[in-house]
Amino acid sequence: MNRHLVEHESPTVILGSAKEFAHRYMLGLYRVIESITSQFPDLLIENCSSGGGRLDYGMLYYFPQTWASDNTDGFDRQAIQDGASYLFHPYQLTGHVSVTPNRQTQRLTPFQTRLDLASATNMGYELNILEFSENEEKMVLEHISEYKKLRPLIKDGRFYRLKSPFTSNQTA
């Protein structure tokens, strides 16, 4: 379901109610999700926002975490995570340490920078661990250990914006 609705038309739509199509679609989707999550209450499902298209409080009700964007570039994630954090707690967003050069932008981002950016969210990895250098493997093990110590603060702490990625290429 990682795509936007296009051509919101249906031969079954009553004349004059076509503007309700997207709203009715979401209500139907919520019914499907309610059915799944009520049958499997311990199942953790991560929402994928598709560029923000499904990053809403209705989806958050069913899915405690959301993948904010398929763009995993460290530099771009600063702005994505900053913008999303105006409506959602950073722990409700997932951020991954991904490969470099980045698949979307081909940008080279230092490993430590990618670790730091992912740590500001519900952190994960999307890397081939078999390709790690010894140093990267050591850094990841240390990072996971440190993240586990900080996770209660990241999950339940207060979040303050100290520096905007929109006014510089840094964020805090």
Separation of alpha carbons 26 and 36, rounded Å: 15
SS3 string, the chain, reads CCCCCCCCCCCCCCCCCHHHHHHHHHHHHHHHHHHHHHHCCCCCCEEECCCCCCCCHHHHHHCCEEECCCCCCHHHHHHHHHHHCCCCCHHHEEEEEECCCCCCCCCCCCHHHHHHHHHCCEEEEECCHHHCCHHHHHHHHHHHHHHHHHHHHHHHCCCCCCCCCCCCCCCC
Q: Among 46, 134, 136, 142, which one carries the catalytic annotation?
A: 136
Q: Among 20, 56, 82, 156, which one carries the catalytic annotation?
A: 56
Q: Does the annotation count 56 as an active-site position?
A: yes
Catalytic machinery residues: 56, 136
